[in-house]
Each structure stands twice: as structure tokens, then as C-alpha cells.
Amino acid sequence: MIQVRNLSKHYGNLVVLSDVNVDIRKGEVISVIGPSGTGKSTFLRCLNLLEYPTGGSIVVDDIPLLDKKTNVPKIRQRMGMVFQSFNLYAHLSVIENLIIGPVKLLGKSRDEAAQKAMELLKLVGLAEKAFSYPDELSGGQKQRVAIARCMAMECEILLFDEPTSALDPTMVSEVLAVIRRLSREGMTMIIVTHEMEFAKNISNRVFYMDEGIIYEEGSPEQIFENPQKEKTRTFINRIRSLDIHLSSDNYDLYAIQGEMKAFCDKHFLSPRVTDFAMLVAEELLLLQKNITDASLKLSYSEKAGTLHLSCENLGEENDPLKDEEDIGLKIIIGRCEKVEYAYVKGKNVLNLTIKNS
């Protein structure tokens, strides 16, 4: 459906995209992931010419987008875009947002468009809000209306530019649910996102963008479980584990627990397991004496379904497992499948596997 060849985008001396080559076929759901500032959004916005590429070519359904003669607005009508900041037309009600495109651009009658609009709103669960104005909706509701607005235009392909980044976690799920439904119905979608779990579940292709190109691409399993290239691996790893460094006894336990909780939430771990992890971490830290250079690592392997917590503490050899009567130790052991201790290279290393249920 879309062929992109040698796409490049410069802002003066800054090269954002250097050489992007990709084919997008009908019905594909593609997730675009990668660190911030690597051109993910720029790439997306080049596809519908919101940004004008510096070089390369984009062909949509055999029509070269960058040709002077091409009627770009018309092609855009077939591509819908969902923005991070929703961008609903502020002066129109929800239903008017949905009918303005069809009426003005597709020549539909107002009644026809209105009927269709109501159906779409039902689809996204917002039929009740048809006559509300954007400033009366929550973020999640606005985004769902934005999606419905695109659907009202009968788009063939939907471009999502970080659709849930501006939403708080409670609203994220409602939007992801709608997107999931769309994918089941066979809509071609390109989604730039930071929601890794979501990306893994929903897409059939994943682009990892870095260095101005599509650095690595593959199926979700390939990218998330077995990243080949080094940078991909670093990225994936980073999202699969949480590293916390401590330099003194005066560590901020609450901050650490906060990060751990967020990590657990991200990986959809059950509350019970999350509690275990937090408790164990607290007790583990209390066991450490004279912290000068220590690190805590929480990692989750989806394949194995295991949650690991390890702690490395630079210092004299000190085996906490010796003191069996210690209450803290008892708490830890009670919640872990495995507890191992080793003194390696001057560091006290404790490896724990937290019970999964």
C-alpha cells in the first residue's frame, strides 16, 4: 500500500531521518518504537506530508506523494491521523467533529453523515456525548472521538502519533481497547507508541527506529525477545528491567518503591506479586550494611513468567543468609522461590526469584 524509499528529513544541519526504506501492506498493524528524538513522529508525519521530506519518495497506492501534480489533500482524506494532543475541533460539538469532514469533503449529506457518526460513537462507547463539546470531555474520551472522527472519513489507513502519551494510566486502557478492536477488524495502522506491552500484543510488525533509519524490524517476538542488533538489545533490556543505583545509606526508599511499582504495573503483574516485590526489596535493602556502592535490579522475563530481584553491594564479605533467625530474612525467604548469595569481585551479590503467586 505504501512504499517509502530513501526518505530523509533535515532541519538545517540536524538530520532527523537519513534513509528510511519500508513497505507497508494492507491490513498490517505496525508499531514504531525507539528512544525519544529518533524521528518516529517525524517519519509518521512525513507519510501524510504534515512534514515535507527533504529527500526520498513516498508512493501511496501507486501515487507518488511528492509529485507536484498530486492532489495531496485528496490522498490525505484516505489517511487518518490521531494526535497525541487529540486536536478535536474546539468550536464544534462531538458529532459535528465527525460530520464536518464527510459533509465538506466527501460530499455526504448532513443527515447521512450524522447517522453514520452516531454509529461510530456507539462503537467507541461515546454515543451519550454526541452533543458535548471537546472541552467537556476527558482525555480518553477525546482520543476516542478523534479515532471515531478518522473512521467517519472511511480511512484506509490510520496513523497514530503516540496516542496514549498524554493520558493518565486509567484512560490509557480505554483507548488501547478501541485500537485493539480496530486491528481485529483488519484496519491498517501505524502506531508510534511507548506502550511496549501493547505494541507486543497488537502488532504484527515492529519497527525499532534509531540513528535516523529503521534500525531493526521484525515480528514482535523477534524484536522483544531476541533483539539482534546491539542498540535494540539495549533498548529492550532497558524496558525489561529496572536498575537502581545506591551510593549511601540515605537512599530514598519511597522513590525506589515507586519506580518498582511502576515497573510492575507496566508488565501487568498482579497486585500480590507487586506487593511481594516491594516488601522483599525493602527487607533486602535493610539487610545491606554500610552501603557505599550498591545497585538493585528488578527484571521480568515474560517467557518464563519470572520476576527477578538482585542486589549487588560493594563491601566486606557478609552473608545475610547465615542469620536464619533474622525476621527480615524470614520475610524474604517466605516470598521467594529462590534465594542465592555469592561474594563476587568484592561485591555481596544476592539473587532472588520472587514467587509468582
Give 92 or 286: the residue with its C-beta nearer to other proteins: 92
List residues near other proteins by CB under 8 A.
Answer: 48, 50, 73-81, 83, 85-93, 95-96, 100-101, 104-105, 110-111, 114-115, 118, 130-131, 133, 149-150, 153
Give 105 or 304: the residue with its C-beta nearer to other proteins: 105
Residue 12, C-beta contacts closer than 8 angstroms, at least 6 positions apart:
none
Task: Give the three-class secondary structure for 204.
Answer: coil
Give 92 or 349: the residue with its C-beta nearer to other proteins: 92
Sign of CA dihedral 200, 202, 205, 211: negative
Give 46 or 196: the residue with its C-beta nearer to other proteins: 46
Cell representation of residue 234: 539495549
Sign of CA dihedral 99, 102, 105, 111: negative
Give 92 or 239: the residue with its C-beta nearer to other proteins: 92
Least distance to other proteins from the beta carbon of 288, Å?
A: 50
Task: Give the H or E element holding residue 20.
Answer: strand 14-24
Least distance to other proteins from the beta carbon of 105, Å?
A: 5
Least distance to other proteins from the beta carbon of 32, Å?
A: 17
- Amino acid letter, 60: V
Tell which residue, 211, 182, 190, has the closest CA to residue 16. Answer: 211
Give 104 or 338: the residue with its C-beta nearer to other proteins: 104
- Tell me how far apart the alpha carbons of residues 185 and 232 are, in angstroms, rounded to a whole number: 30
Least distance to other proteins from the beta carbon of 172, Å?
A: 20
Q: Strand order in 188-192's β-sheet?
A: 79-82, 157-161, 188-192, 29-33, 205-210, 213-218
- Tell me how far apart the alpha carbons of residues 266 and 196 are, in angstroms, rounded to a whole number: 8
Tell which residue, 161, 156, 167, 173, has the closest CA to residue 44. Answer: 161
Give 85 or 270: the residue with its C-beta nearer to other proteins: 85
Least distance to other proteins from the beta carbon of 111, Å?
A: 6
Least distance to other proteins from the beta carbon of 189, Å?
A: 15
Give 149 or 267: the residue with its C-beta nearer to other proteins: 149
Least distance to other proteins from the beta carbon of 119, Å?
A: 11
Least distance to other proteins from the beta carbon of 40, Å?
A: 17
User: N- to C-terminal Cα distance for the chain?
Assistant: 46
- Amino acid letter, 90: A
Q: Strand order in 306-314's β-sheet?
A: 241-246, 294-301, 306-314, 347-354, 336-344
Task: Give the three-class secondary structure for 15.
Answer: strand
